[in-house]
Amino acid sequence: MFARARLAQGVHLRSSSFLSRRLASTKSLKETLQEVIPAKQEQLKRLKTEHGQAVVGDVKIENIIGGMRGLKAMLWDASVLDPNEGIRFHGLSIPDCQKVLPPAPRGKEIIAESMLWLLLTGQVPTAEQTRQLSRELAEKGELPKFVEDLVDSLPKDLHPMTQLGVGVAALNKESSFQAAYEKGMKKSEYWTHTFDDCINLIARLPALAARIYRNAYRPGSPIPAINKDLDLVGNYSHLLGYGENESLTEYLRLYIALHGDHEGGNASAHTARMYTISPFLDIRKITEHPTFQDLVGSTLSDPYLSYSAALFALAGPLHGLANQEVLRWQLAMQKEIGTDISNENIKDYLWKTLRSGQVVPGVARYGHGVLRNPDPRFIALQEFCQTRPELKNSPIIELVNKTSEVAPDVLKEHGKTKNPYPNVDATSGCVLYHYGFTEFKYYTVIFGVSRALGALTQLVWARALGLPLERPKSYSMDALEKLVKQ
């Protein structure tokens, strides 16, 4: 179902016949997934039987000691990151997704529910299916009282990401998977309980994340009830206290959908869900055939424990803290150069940063570990800014735009950046800041809400395919030197 021919069709969803065929179903998300799983199970069985001994690629010492960077040893079925084209979700580019994935009522941007459906099933949902899923998530979105009490008891100055990880882990008290496993269940039933946990967790993330925000930055302010008529991110914005700002809500919808998944090699996805390639006869077919393993999830930890681990990986400054670092750097530049936002002043500030031994404006923000062209997510957010007069006239957004024009040539001349073009983080936090969402430390929590869409959907697939415990072979330095000599 997910083979290259079908993926190629997905890129051309503008075709009315294909689109009508994809949008004809009114089945629920779980029913749709139940139809998809058998074909994937058969595909995995065939790969193991027919190609289990085929060899792809070589592992070098630099791969082993260099964090496996660039090593073709993982596969993530929901999305593929091409160095030149950027991210694709089941074959669909970001512009494709913006054209075909249903928005919120009266909205224009992709919403989390339509991206969740695509990531989990490889299919485009109807507007009706998306609305039904929104309703289901809203009805399951209330936090248990014990989690509310736990979060309220945490120190208000404890980092928001730490609080989010604690809250998510505590939700495992109500894990359907854990309860069923303790009673005894067939392996074929693992995915259904995992699915239920994942949907419940995604549903509750807005209430949990919003409670953390209110406690830390708006203590004593009442938290409104979940509105059953709103989509997931509409409710998130509402609970945060920004529901009246429709522009910010639309931006959050776009931000969370675009950040929902970004291949499997990043630290947070890798922690919760690692998919390791089974050998294929043809290396070119790697992106067609999924065989998944996950790191924490492979131990049969429930989705709450697995995703809490991913959140703690996301909290690192080399990963999810990117947008706040970029914003700090841009604000420091704005303070120094004042209102004269000229190319020459920006160029001087860039060189000042580089000559001081710093990166621009932080590790892997300008430039990306995989991408070799401008990040399509950055382009999508910039296009959003161009549709909003208040953003087009915003000094901080103007500075972002001009920096993105000047920085590539400076970084090329500097010669130490493989990709000198802006990453999505070059603008994402700056838009939040413009709208008055100025609490830097909280930005990664929004990232954490979004990345659940990819990590958790793939955990369902790991259970559906019955994948084993991840246990790669490790070597000491002495052992590596011995291997090299041999």
Q: What residues are labeled active site?
A: 319, 368, 425
Indicate the SS3 state at residue 198.
helix
CA–CA–CA angle 390, 375, 347 (5° rounding): 70
Helical (H) or strand (E) element with 79: strand 79-82
Query: 436 in the Ramachandran plot: left (φ > 0), alpha (ψ -120 to 50) or beta?
Result: left
Q: Are strands 86-89 and 79-82 parallel, antiparallel or unpaired?
A: antiparallel
Q: Copy the structure tokens of residue 276.
A: 């390791």
Q: How far apart are CA 73 and CA 56, in angstroms?
A: 9
Query: 433 in the Ramachandran plot: left (φ > 0), alpha (ψ -120 to 50) or beta?
Result: alpha
Which of 76, 29, 48 is CA-nearest to residue 461? Answer: 76
Residue holding tokens 């559906």? 464
Q: Copy the structure tokens of residue 282.
A: 């043809």
User: To 10 degrees, what angle do helices 395-414 and 322-337 make?
Assistant: 100
Q: Copy the structure tokens of residue 156.
A: 């208000």
Say if CB 291 and CB 50 are below 8 A apart. Answer: no
Kindly provide the b/e burial profile for residues 133-167, where b requires at least 16 CB atoms within 10 angstroms of the residue's own CB.
bbebbbeebebeeebbebbeebeeeebbbebbbbb
Q: Copy the structure tokens of residue 171.
A: 């939700």
Q: Exposed, middle or buried, 247 (CB in 10 Å: 0-12/13-18/19+)?
A: middle
Torsional sign, CA 463, 465, 469, 475:
negative
Other beta carbons within 10 angstroms of residue 317's beta carbon come to 12
Amino acid identity of residue 424, one-letter, is V
Helical (H) or strand (E) element with 348: helix 343-355
**Count of residues in the chain:** 486
Q: How far apart are CA 434 and CA 429, in angstroms?
A: 9
Residue holding tokens 């001349």? 413
Indicate the SS3 state at residue 166.
helix
